[in-house]
Amino acid sequence: MVRISEDLIRRRAEHNNGEIFSLEEVSLHQQDIERIELIDKWCRDLKILYLQNNLIPKIENVSRLKKLEYLNLALNNIEVIENLEGCESLQKLDLTVNFVGKLSSVESLKQNVHLRELYLVGNPCTEFQGYRQYVVACLPQLQWLDGKEIRRGERIQALQELDAVRRLVFEQEAEYLEKREEQKKSGLKETTEKQDDPQINHLLSENQNGTHQNRGTSSKVSNEDKEKEFWEKPCSFTPESRLEAHRHLEDKRRAKEKEREKPKTKTTRTLITADGRVLNINEPKLDFSLTEDENNCMHLEIHVYRHMDTSLLDVDVQPTYVRVTVKGKVFQLVLPAEVKPDSSTAQRSQTTGHLLLILPLAHGEIKPKKPIARPSSVTSKQNIKKATRAAAGRELLEVDPGLAQSLANIVPKGKESSHKPLQLLQPHQRCGVEERPVSKDFVDDPEVPPLM
């Protein structure tokens, strides 16, 4: 049973900063509430109250809500309209899909002079002959009934036929109440029989403890049959049947929660057999390739997920096998030859995310390096000359004979060159300046600085 608590209302008052005393609207729908309580003490200024889709059997503890304008009690177990006289400001009352069979209880709403809308759709009283005329005649302040506007002519006619309609309604109401008492007795009898049946009690205890799942396939099939039988069994739509269905679903939910809370027994992996044989395992289902290079090393490339963090990888290299844990899943590979774990390295590609393990062989063969073929644009004789000179430890500059011949033909044969060899100038000579002889009248004055 869910009780209305201060914490529940405070959590539902988020738009009011958690303050409940000045709250004007609160929604407590679908909370499995079975009783209205404490709201009239904590929320005196409440104007709108949503309590639909709960298990409330009675309207109570709302008479102090003087400012309440809208009360929604749809989809509950209410059978009588009562205890609403103190809601002086009530304008709208929604009792859709309840169990109101005592239609005469609607006359208790006469004191709610501001009531304008009333919804009784889905209640047993709506099947009474003269139901609408009776409600319209009893509540003159009402303007809408079950979403349909009440016209003036309809109200006048209902008032004229009120006495006859009231007698008809009371007769049907008495028949319904008598039928309802029989339903209560039969429901109480079935409940007592179920409680006394040892087989049912055994199944219920297994369902609550969750032990039926450990008894094999037969127990599961039996449980499924019981579940199917429960929902397919015909029953009348009563507050008791609705409450029973709710209890059944609640028991199933609790059993599932207990099953989830149980510690799960983890199955131990077999990575190495009892006789010491290492197994090949690929739990993460990753592609991989194993190759051997010319440096006597094996390259193991594992196609790890590209965007996975490297901290989720754990690499363990042993002389005869490699184990890589990827997000808790084991990749284990037996190596064809023994390797050196201490000299092994692990690298992660930044583009593809692949993991590359370089594993030097412990007893590898010395393999000669393969010659690398390089393209050459010179003749074979020149290659031989270069190789010989390089071996001698010195390198000389070579000139192509054709290029030397072309340089020799720059000056035609048989003609003397008009160019004369360059002569070195003396220090006192200047290029392009002719030196003149010193005049006889020139006097060298030592006080005059020389011209630069």
Residue 229 has pLDDT above 50, yes or no: yes
Q: How confident is the model at residue 118 (pLDDT cuts 50, 70, 90)?
A: very high
What is the average per-residue pLDDT within 169-196? 80
Going across the sheet that includes 288-292, the strands are 288-292, 297-302, 355-360, 345-348
- pLDDT by residue (tens digit) across 311-354? 889 999 999 999 999 988 999 999 999 999 998 999 998 888 89
Report pLDDT for 238: 82
Higher pLDDT pick, 312 / 389: 312
**Model's pTM, two decimal places?**
0.54
Report pLDDT for 417: 46
Residue 278 has pLDDT above 60, yes or no: yes
Phi-psi map region of 30: left, alpha, beta (phi>0 left; psi -120 to 50 alpha): left
The string of DSSP letters for 246-302 reads HHHHHHHHHHHHHHHHSPPPPPPP-SB-TTSPBPPEETT---EEEEE-TTSEEEEEE
Report pLDDT for 197: 55
CA 116 – CA 131 distance, rounded (Å): 18
Between 16-20, 256-260, 286-290, 298-302, the lowest mean confidence (pLDDT) is in 16-20
CA 114 – CA 284 distance, rounded (Å): 70
- pLDDT by residue (tens digit) across 119-174? 999 999 999 999 999 999 999 999 999 999 999 999 999 999 999 999 999 999 99
∠ CA 78-81-87, nearest 5°, is 115
CA 344 – CA 357 distance, rounded (Å): 7
Could you give the domains of the chain? Answer: 6-174 (3.80.10.10), 197-261 (no CATH), 281-360 (2.60.40.790)
- Helix (H, G, I), strand (E, B), or coil: what is residue 108? helix
Higher pLDDT pick, 162 / 377: 162
Report pLDDT for 410: 55
Residue 222 has pLDDT above 90, yes or no: no
With beta carbons less than 8 A apart as the criterion, state whether 82 and 62 touch: no
The chain-wide mean pLDDT, for the chain, equals 79
From 301, 271, 269, 297, select the one nearest 286 (Cα to Cα).
301
